[in-house]
Structure 1
């Protein structure tokens, strides 16, 4: 079940809201937990067992680590066991096939394996459990002894399958005490509609453009076609993922939770370093707190700092998917970040803002080529198309047609990547609140109409 579906919008969400606000305060966590399990089991009933095991195991181990606090060695051993079990589950379901394929390719062997369906959201809830366990071990949070509250933290449906990755330290007080106000509920509804419009009206339509181009044989289309396709994908993945994050944040507000912002207009960044402060903020924060800083961060020698950065970004790439294109994509950003820090940092201050932004966007677009093509040779071939190395000319009828029929959509997408449009809406909300309500109603109706009549409704981050 996805947020951008008629089933969720008109059956599941109204049902959970009705029950949630009817039951007394002491039952609200139970209601959210039950509905969260139903939400997850709707598409993958078998993997609900895996999620329940993860919640129960980490609940017990958190208490065990806290109990052994006065015996550092015993506590460390419990921590190590807990981390290994969590990483084993993630690795078995997400990376075992990739590992066996790699071994078969290197040693020309034929080790058989059964390809398993990836449990939806496993990367997200595994990182949430790890953040909890590590924070308990470090003494940053108190251990959670209420199984219902802990299970809700792991399974909460608004942010279960696509984040943001919620740290236990940020949500602990809200699991105990939270309040839903009319203003908060209204703000949550506005966030949800904004995210739904991003996903349904922009991401889905832009996705059809890139799907068309990606379905062509490498080298058979022009430079123009290649650029139209990858620009459409660049916009699609932003509106797809940030739209889902906005919907998650909005749903959280409806139930009294406040989740962290996950995107902050990343395509207006001045440099790759700033881009990663604005893109998938919760993931970047997680790797910084639980991998980069424990490794020593930047308070080490230059060679060690380079190692830390490259390791973190290799893991970031692998987190996104079990194939070499994601590894290359992660290392690509690691190299760019190091290059900016040690070579370009001083140059940026002397360059005009527009030049730095064009440089940034060009590198981001190239990065999405590796991200979107799971076969590495296809990514290299697509880059060749973009820069005229392996191509069917500078322009062709396909590229001109795609540009002509989607130019308005692409322009609207580009404008929506900057804060200007949303700032105008906020001004309208202050000056004429009823007009702002009307805008939200129109967006809602357009989204529903699209979902009723269209069948193309993918979600890119389901595979993570």
Structure 2
């Protein structure tokens, strides 16, 4: 079920009303109801996926019980590896089997031997990369002694399948989200209002920004061989806007929806395109994933508290693995490696923690140095996004080479004039609002003393823009494929 669909527009208020008016007095009944509607939400794509998430949840629930009961470290580690191998086994089979089979066949062919690649027609379960990482955090934290095992199977299964963030994050840690299923939840008007603001802003970013940018991105990337350099630059920039609007839009809707049900999810994006270097960018982009890799991969490898050579190795591991997490294609691996190359100079010079504050702190406008830093960081990010968006590595290199074709002009907007010529103005408006909220979030755009006419005028304006300029074609969110 898509957030930007008519089905969800009916599903959400129906679930909200039953949750607060029918099951309000019974915590276990609320949790069971959340579990039921989460399975309905997830099974809307393909009911066969439900058996996979249910089995994964069962394995991790039992493994968690055994880890806590075990008296020896070896026995604890045994059940931890059962959890990890089960989750990574599912992920590897459904997402990477064909990639490894085809890559092996290509390698054998390169050395002069004949190989027939064996591939399977496997459907990738929606959100498997997200919920497998979420459940692994539970057993790893149990093994580390950072939490207690959950005794209530309904609460645990509801935690794994919690529908707002199930298919595209944020990837919530068990230590943060699971305890919220154990405490009595009371409806809060303030929390509900914040949730609605986030949902509204998320829909704006998805259906107005991302989906309209996608029209031009798809056409430019499909014709990259004949497009001019200016058109290709526009395509890369529009894709940067598309993927940010799409993914952060989903996160906003997920966080806002969770608030409607009395839950608080972690912030997943903090205006990353206003970053002054790549280290700051990765502290602001897909925060739940980057911190997951930091805590469960990078730090156990030694992080940066080792020799320079090992620190460089660890950096490449974390970025390449992050790229591979996104998909079974060499384009994602190159994208990850390129970001590692961006990051290394900062690491080696000890400047990777330089920009930990907000750009233009206590100022409305940035200075010239900050403008240069943000512009150069955004340009490097757009260059890397070309590999992320391209179908093959060869296509990406040709795309980048053709950027330096200075013949021709900007892309001819052949789409309906209503959106074609209004989109740049809407993007400027969006960037302006993002700049204003760069230190907080959209629900804090107006203070308590703000004029109500201005406040509600803004929200109604967003509704009007969504109505007139939104692309309501039920397009899936980009990160559903991961």
* Aligned-pair CA distance for 1:13: 0.7
Which residue of structure 2 aligns with residue 210 of structure 1? Answer: 217
Taking the aligned partners of 1:382 and 1:406, their CA distance within structure 2 comes to 24
* Aligned-pair CA distance for 1:334: 1.1
Map 1:420-459; keep pairs closer than 5 Å.
Answer: 426-427=445-446, 430-433=449-452, 435-444=454-463, 446-447=465-466, 454-455=472-473, 457-459=475-477
After superposition, the C-alpha distances for 1:117-168 in whole angstroms (9 at most, x for unaligned) are: 1100000000001100000011101100110000011000000011000000
* Aligned-pair CA distance for 1:262: 0.4
After superposition, the C-alpha distances for 1:41-63 in whole angstroms (9 at most, x for unaligned) are: 01111111001001111101110
After superposition, the C-alpha distances for 1:331-384 in whole angstroms (9 at most, x for unaligned) are: 1111211122224839x8999222211211110010110111131111111111
Matched, 1:360 2:362: no
Structure 1 residues 427 and 405: alpha-carbon distance in aligned structure 2, compared to 1, 3 A threshold: closer
Map 1:283-298; keep pairs closer than 5 Å.
Answer: 283-298=289-304
Structure 1 residues 423 and 17: alpha-carbon distance in aligned structure 2, compared to 1, 3 A threshold: closer
Map 1:176-215; keep pairs closer than 5 Å.
Answer: 176-177=182-183, 178-215=185-222
Matched, 1:240 2:246: yes
Comparing 111-120 with 230-239, greater Cα deviation is found at 111-120
More helix by share: 1
User: Over the residues paired in the alignment, what is the CA RMSD in angstroms?
Assistant: 2.3
1:256 to 258, 262, 266: 262
Which residue of structure 1 aligns with residue 364 of structure 2? Answer: none
Structure 1 residues 351 and 228: alpha-carbon distance in aligned structure 2, compared to 1, 3 A threshold: closer
After superposition, the C-alpha distances for 1:383-416 in whole angstroms (9 at most, x for unaligned) are: 112222xxxx432474476886643244334434
Where does the alignment leave 5 or more consecutive residues of structure 2 unmatched? 110-114, 356-366
After superposition, the C-alpha distances for 1:411-449 in whole angstroms (9 at most, x for unaligned) are: 334434423597797237632235423432443354356
- TM-score, length basis structure 1: 0.92
After superposition, the C-alpha distances for 1:31-85 in whole angstroms (9 at most, x for unaligned) are: 11100000000111111100100111110111011111x2111111121222111
Taking the aligned partners of 1:145 and 1:336, their CA distance within structure 2 comes to 45
Please tell me whether the aligned partners of residues 234 and 368 of structure 1 are also in contact (alpha carbons under 8 angstroms): yes
Taking the aligned partners of 1:292 and 1:71, their CA distance within structure 2 comes to 26
Structure 1 residues 8 and 448: alpha-carbon distance in aligned structure 2, compared to 1, 3 A threshold: farther
Taking the aligned partners of 2:167 and 2:443, their CA distance within structure 1 comes to 31
Which residue of structure 1 aligns with residue 478 of structure 2? Answer: 460
Which residue of structure 1 aligns with residue 81 of structure 2? Answer: 80
Taking the aligned partners of 1:100 and 1:19, their CA distance within structure 2 comes to 48
Where does the alignment leave 5 or more consecutive residues of structure 1 unmatched? none
After superposition, the C-alpha distances for 1:225-258 in whole angstroms (9 at most, x for unaligned) are: 1111111111111111001100000011111100
2:392 to 371, 375, 378: 375
Comparing 72-81 with 256-265, greater Cα deviation is found at 72-81
Which residue of structure 2 aligns with residue 102 of structure 1? Answer: 103
Comparing 195-204 with 178-187, greater Cα deviation is found at 178-187
Partner SS state of residue 229, structure 1: helix
1:47 to 46, 49, 70: 49
Comparing 433-442 with 178-187, greater Cα deviation is found at 433-442
Comparing 112-121 with 268-277, greater Cα deviation is found at 112-121
Please tell me whether the aligned partners of residues 268 and 417 of structure 1 are also in contact (alpha carbons under 8 angstroms): no
Aligned length: 455
Which residue of structure 2 aligns with residue 408 of structure 1? Answer: 425
Please tell me whether the aligned partners of residues 40 and 157 of structure 1 are also in contact (alpha carbons under 8 angstroms): yes
Partner SS state of residue 8, structure 1: helix
Please tell me whether the aligned partners of residues 222 and 399 of structure 1 are also in contact (alpha carbons under 8 angstroms): no
Which residue of structure 1 aligns with residue 407 of structure 2? Answer: 394
- TM-score, length basis structure 2: 0.89
* Aligned-pair CA distance for 1:284: 0.8
Taking the aligned partners of 2:443 and 2:139, their CA distance within structure 1 comes to 43
